[in-house]
Structure 1
Amino acid sequence: MNFSVLGPGELGVACALALLANHPSRTVSLLSRDGKAGGAATSAGFTRRIPPRLRIVSYPTAAEREWPHAVFLCTPAESLIAPSPSFSSTSPVRTFLRDWRDRKGDTGGGKGPFSFLAVFTRGLSTAGVTPVDLACQEMLPGGEVEGEEGERRGMPLILSATGPIFAREWAAQSNPPGSPSSSPEQGLTPDQESETRSDPPRQFSGTALVFALNHATSDAGLVSALRRHLQEDLFRREAVTLLEGPDSGAEVKLINACLPLCAFGAGLVSNYYAGSNASALAAYAQHALRATTGLINGLLGRTVDTPLPPCLCSTLCAVCSHYGLREFVLGRRFDFHFKKAFALQAVYPGQTHTAFTSTVNGLHTLMRARSVSSPFYEVIMDTFSTLLRASVVGAGLVKEGYYDYRQPGSSPFLEHAMKIDEAVFSHDEVAFEAAKSRFISTISQDPK
């Protein structure tokens, strides 16, 4: 039984190491664009050696592939976007998923109960589409069915999944520094090397994982078999929850969309309450949980007081108090418009901030398309768009869960900036030029 993890980033590496720690005899392939860059697994801060049964390879051709039993998707949402006139290249992730789907019958049907794709990716595309839905467009072309009927027709199951908030902790518990590997550190004698090796991974990793079928099923046997497979085979060292409600798949993928913004908002709070912000973050977490529950219920067309599963609530609260998350650090360093670029460069190397930017734009698009409002998230998105000062917003997020700035008498600069923002999201170049001209005129007439 072999597995493939798509994405050599922090989450992908942690997932691959966890699969090996749970069952050292299995083979796990970590797929990346450049298989020769084995350091990709350590470039994001992982300074541990690679286990012998973890293969870091580039996306192979169809003839070279060993088709996996299950696939774990940990790549950004952009890797799943279909080609367009402005972006014509085909993503290797999309190609791999299509080929795996087409050859699912050759993935070892007798070796396991079923094949599945688990999507751990957080965030949204710029168009407001979740990574799970983008994956479904590749796995279920032409509206093919999903769930137990799809399984009978040979289609892999599709799972929404959310993992640990800080992937490095999961990796550290799965493959402690100095654990045996096939690539020993250079310059060590055999005696020194043996001294650097630590004990095997702990019996339990201290990590919680949440899964849900993307579409609800009435097949209790399928759900029971899937739960046993996840809890007793794949992730025996983790606390695994498989949600069964009719909206569970949608809840998990929407939580994954909201988590980056909640972390950014927590950073804004820390921006204002720097040095003694434990209580402030606890107050912020209450507002974040209430606002996220209301937002998800609105997007799913449910009553406003429908509660979220406890496992998702705990994940959300953890995000609101984790100082190590990049989005949190960004919020803490964020302030005026002229500091935005410096903050992004300091927190996100290269162009890796694009995933967070697309999530902010995507949530704005999704809320507008569904006619759903959320003052909490609107304030966070407007702050990232530099319409508001970050530290001032941080205080409002703690006090009331939002910052009420949209009342009569607001600054004319803010009003014009919001018009520019609306024109950008509507892709109306004429309106954008007009709004920009009014903004420049207002600035030139008011030297203050």
Structure 2
Amino acid sequence: MDEILPSLPATPYKFYRPDAHLIGIAAGGALLVDYWNAPLPGAATDGAEFGFRDEVYWFYKSARPITKPEEGARDLLNRRDNSVVSLPRGFEKECTVSMGVAGDLIQAEGLEQSKNVLFSTVADVLFEKDISFANYESVVAQDEVAKEALGDGRSFTMCCSKEQYSTLTQHNGEHFTVLNTANNHTFDLDLAGLETTQKLLEQDGIVNVGTPRNVEEHGRGTILTSKGIKIGFVSATFGIRRFKLPPHERHRIHVAKLCSKYVAPELELLKRQITDCKAQGCDFIVGSLHWGWEFEFFPRESQIKAAHAVVEAGIDLLLGHHPHVIQPVEFYPTVRDPKRIAVIAYSLGSTTFGWFTAPHMMLSLMLNVELAKGTLDGAPHTYISAAKPVPVFRHHFMEAGKLLMRIEKLADHVSPLGKMPPSVQKMNEYAKLVLGDSYAR
């Protein structure tokens, strides 16, 4: 029987940056009057662009997430029905590949105790597929280095031990197939942290995308062939916090201003990678974007336009991560191919992220996708034949005196009679708000 849980933090509000008294006072005042109920225009999401107002807004919405879309983003609500995804009439299928996708994989103190428990109830969604993908966001270091970097747990540094890395990246000996390593925490432990992480990924046979090791790889896609389907992965992150790469190491990450408050989204780096994937004869292109505004349940209008632009350039499946909350999955009919439905997951949320207990932070998304390669009118094509968002959440429990974490499918805990714990009820409301008709399919 589960033991009584210890007191756990609800959100980062008043948890990080205990020295930031003015920010805390201002955010607390804003919360009292419900100051922001829609996205703040001109807000920064890149830490390098943060000012005082951005800090206050960040802490405010970490406690009270933004549940309304921008006015210019409302049209997205009409494209959330996954029933539109199907193979074109006359398509002759030759082979298929299944994919399981998760969001951010982030360390939590003591997470190593949950090895082979963490993914036990969602293994069918991730590890029983031909390809499994997630965003890996906690570089690896020796225990003493990680402990020093994390300090008292109130640091924004994301790093972990080898044992925690193992918990995050595998289940019963089955590893993720592909992990994105281009994100704003890639260099939290300088280049050494990235290199240690890349060596472990290589040893475990995990393909990592977004962090080239040499100059020649920069701006190129990463290619993986599974069951006869050649898949190109392209990746970029919106920023790398305040870290400055030395000039001779700037090739080590695919980074572009995707969400700057000063300039329009820069898409050239992504388009270079797309062009490279096409040149290498890829059947299908997956885009991994670390971007977006944290704790906002809908993408900004600029993101929607950018997503459509890179899809029209050649991306077929776009996987977004960073906001720590879920955002809609869009089923977008492409102009470049009227028979193609591209799938755009704006934010899959954080699969793991500390021990926070607020419903908006516990909830995340997984995505099941099936690709089909074949011919249509005598020409080769690879389409998405099915795509289903799967809402999941982190369940914390005590067992044998240990605090454990397990990812649960939300549908397994939702009662048709409406009798469910308040946290499950709230997560169910958020899932319906964000996913629309696709939630129940």
TM-score, with length taken from structure 2: 0.22
Q: Which has the higher helix share?
A: 1
TM-score, with length taken from structure 1: 0.22
- Per chain length, whose mean CA-contact separation is higher, i.e. which structure has more relative contact order (CA < 8 Å, sep 6+)? 2
Report which of the two structures shows the higher radius of gyration computed on alpha carbons. Answer: 1
